[in-house]
Amino acid sequence: MKVAIVGAGQVGAAAAYALALQGPASEIVLIDRSAALAAAQAEDIAHAVPFASAVRVRAGDYDAAAGSAVAILAAGVAQKPGETRLELLGRNAAVFAEVVAEVLRVAPDAILLVASNPVDVMTQAATRLSNLPPARVIGSGTILDTARFRHLLGRHLGVAPQSVHGLVLGEHGDSEVLCWSGATVGAAPLAVVARDLGRPLDPAAMETIDEGVRRAAYRIIEGKGATWFGIGAGLARIVRAIGADARDVLTLSMLTPEVAGVRELALSLPRVIGAEGIIATLPPALSPPEAEALARSAAILKASADPLGF
């Protein structure tokens, strides 16, 4: 499977590195406005390949992406001093208009995997710009937030995060919804396991975990400027599910007809993903407060996307 990555900055490079180590792709092509940056990232990652897999990693222009099965869109512009969020969104939408057109020119059958922030709004923009079925334009959404939730729950309980099953839905951002009510460890409800292990989830512990998930990006950005390792691994995980037609259930963003009474918006829900993209959405059972929080998150995203005309 050939994977193109548009945007060779930290996120795009981390995704390429994770793909090289995990091995689901046969070829990775890095594309960037700075050809020197793309070439340097590709060469550096290629030097890790002998330790991990047989993937070919190279840099190129859009023509080099011909025949890609997946195109990861990690391109975007940084916010200028004094620039409003809406102005930033407008400039990123203009970047996406160019990127999407070029990718589909050379790889019309590619699944678009959106990583650029704000990822839900950019997923909606990419869907409209591409005229592709929404199932083929996938946002990384809350896959990283869900991983953070599982990590922190596992640490609190003293169990492996792979054994924790808890979802984060809605916006990849401040209004995201941690679904405590349906969380499990193995096959047992979270609260039962916490009690049995002697590590109860009292309100203070829940608040600490909520803050740990919701504010993670801010802490990381304060310390090193941006986040990239977690989302790079998450993007590789999505590509692996597509390449293997795995039918995995992941919390991904997609333009959705209606959520909690809000129509036509992109946000994260549990989605079944395989070779053709998103195959189905599995609406979760939520507590009344979680359902209200998801409705608020949907309304916030709708208000962000509508002024852009998408």
Burial readout 185-197 (b: 16 or more C-beta within 10 A, e: otherwise)? beeeebeebbeee
Residue pair 216/178 in contact by the 8 Å Cβ criterion: no
The tokens for 161 are: 């995060």
Cα–Cα distance for residue pair 248/107, rounded to 1 Å:
24
Q: Which residues are bridge partners to 250 per DSSP?
A: 271
Query: Residue 156 catalytic?
Result: no
Question: Could you count the other beta carbons within 10 Å of the beta carbon of residue 105?
Answer: 12
β-pairing, 70-73 vs 2-6, is parallel
Residue pair 251/167 in contact by the 8 Å Cβ criterion: yes
Q: Which helix (H) or strand (E) holds 83?
A: none
Phi, psi of 291 (to 5 degrees): -65, -40
Residue pair 71/112 in contact by the 8 Å Cβ criterion: yes
Q: Which of the following is catalytic: 47, 151, 156, 172?
A: 172
Cα–Cα distance for residue pair 282/253, rounded to 1 Å:
13
CA 51 to chain centre: 27
Phi, psi of 93 (to 5 degrees): -65, -35
Cα–Cα distance for residue pair 163/49, rounded to 1 Å:
30
Q: What's the farthest any 2 CA atoms get from each other in the chain?
A: 58
Rg of the Cα atoms in the chain: 19
Active site residues: 172
